[in-house]
């Protein structure tokens, strides 16, 4: 059977970019979560892979409630789980530090991260042999639907706010782990092609200082910023497990070139 991909989250940042990217290689259909609820219970069974990129705003801000857990609802309402399910998790489930492994102790930093841990545990219990859980670092890229109201702010969303307010300051020695949206799409494509199952960090696996990436994104903004000394949320994720399964890596120079070409 040829791979048929369903993406849930029609106007989401990752969903819309994934649709454009994966359509070059597979049959891809994209639906909003609201439209998915109107489909019959056999609908999901016609796909080989389902990728949920939609999220409820209360899932981000409030304590866990099953009705706000869209991943749980999708699996719960599926008649047959004969498809591989992609769960998009967050690096915020870990305590910030260098070189975090998938087996590192989970210490979710906020309600959003706590909810992600609960959802991942539920999915592992229900569909472990059909689950790909991706613990993703900060993703850099442009939104296709710029006017769409998104519940979840990205690093780039916060950076755009910096452009509008030169009084902001950032930490001189803060560093994070970044990937491009194109790299994330390519990782998902390769996982589909190689029929891989499991839990993986998706990352650069290298320090990128905030002062560094800010300069790449916009030198004019960089000149206006005030830098302070702090390391409040610095981290890198180890990507060795992923590289053992799919030999694909993004370099710091590739990230730099991508940032410089972004229209923000």
DSSP for 234-258, written as a single string:
---B--HHHHHHS-----HHHHHHH
Stronger pLDDT, 151 or 19, i.e. the higher one: 19
pLDDT band, residue 262 (cuts 50/70/90):
confident
Q: What is the CATH number of the domain that holds 114?
A: 3.40.50.720
Contacts (Cβ under 8 Å, ≥6 apart) of 175: 207, 208, 209, 210, 234, 235, 236
Q: Return d(Cα 59, Cα 42) in angstroms, integer.
A: 27
pLDDT the model gives residue 97: 93
Query: What domain range is 119 assigned to?
Result: 4-261
> Could you give the percent of the chain with pLDDT greater than 70?
84
Q: Give the CA distances from residue 215 to residues 168, 224, 235, in Å, rounded to whole numbers and listed in that order.
A: 15, 11, 19
pLDDT band, residue 144 (cuts 50/70/90):
confident
Please tell me the least confidently modeled range out of 8-17, 18-27, 95-104, 150-159. Answer: 150-159
Instruction: Output the six-digit token pair for 172.
Output: 């001189």
CA neighbor of 20 nearest in space, from 143, 137, 131? 143
Query: Model's pTM, two decimal places?
Result: 0.91
pLDDT the model gives residue 40: 85
The structural domain count of the chain equals: 1
Over residues 180-194, mean pLDDT: 97
Strands, DSSP E only, in the chain? 4-8, 27-31, 49-52, 84-90, 131-136, 138-140, 169-171, 175-176, 178-180, 198-202, 208-209, 226-228
- Is residue 168 pLDDT above 70, yes or no? no
User: Which residues, listed in sequence order, are joined to residue 199 by a DSSP beta bridge?
Assistant: 133
Tens of pLDDT along 69-111?
A: 999 999 998 988 999 999 999 999 999 999 999 999 999 989 9
| Crossing angle for the helix pair 252-261 and 210-217, to the nearest 10 degrees | 40
Distance of CA 226 to the CA centre of its chain: 29
Instruction: Output the six-digit token pair for 218.
Output: 């916009």
Strand, coil or helix: what is 121? helix
């Amino acid at each position: 059977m040829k791979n048929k991909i369903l993406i849930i989250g029609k106007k989401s940042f990752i969903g819309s970019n994934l649709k454009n990217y994966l359509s070059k290689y597979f049959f891809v259909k994209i639906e909003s979560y609201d439209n998915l609820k109107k489909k019959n219970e056999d609908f999901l069974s016609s796909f080989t892979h389902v990728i949920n990129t939609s999220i409820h705003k209360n899932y981000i801000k409030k304590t866990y409630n099953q009705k706000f857990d869209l991943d749980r609802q999708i699996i719960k309402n599926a008649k047959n789980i004969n498809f591989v399910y992609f769960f998009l998790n967050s690096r915020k489930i870990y305590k910030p530090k260098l070189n975090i492994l998938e087996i590192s102790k989970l210490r979710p930093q906020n309600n959003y991260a706590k909810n992600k841990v609960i959802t991942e545990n539920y999915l592992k219990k229900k569909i472990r042999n059909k689950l790909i859980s991706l613990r993703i670092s900060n993703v850099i890229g442009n939104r296709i639907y710029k006017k769409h109201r998104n519940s979840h702010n990205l690093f780039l969303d916060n950076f755009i706010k910096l452009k509008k307010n030169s009084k902001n300051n950032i930490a001189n020695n803060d560093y994070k782990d970044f990937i491009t949206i194109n790299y994330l799409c390519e990782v998902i494509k390769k996982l589909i092609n190689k029929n891989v199952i499991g839990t993986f960090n998706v990352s650069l696996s290298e320090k990128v200082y905030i002062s560094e990436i800010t300069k790449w994104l916009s030198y004019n903004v960089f000149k206006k910023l005030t830098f302070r000394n702090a390391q409040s949320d610095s981290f890198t994720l180890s990507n060795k497990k992923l590289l053992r399964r799919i030999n694909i890596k993004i370099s710091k120079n590739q990230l730099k070139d991508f940032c410089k070409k972004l229209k923000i």
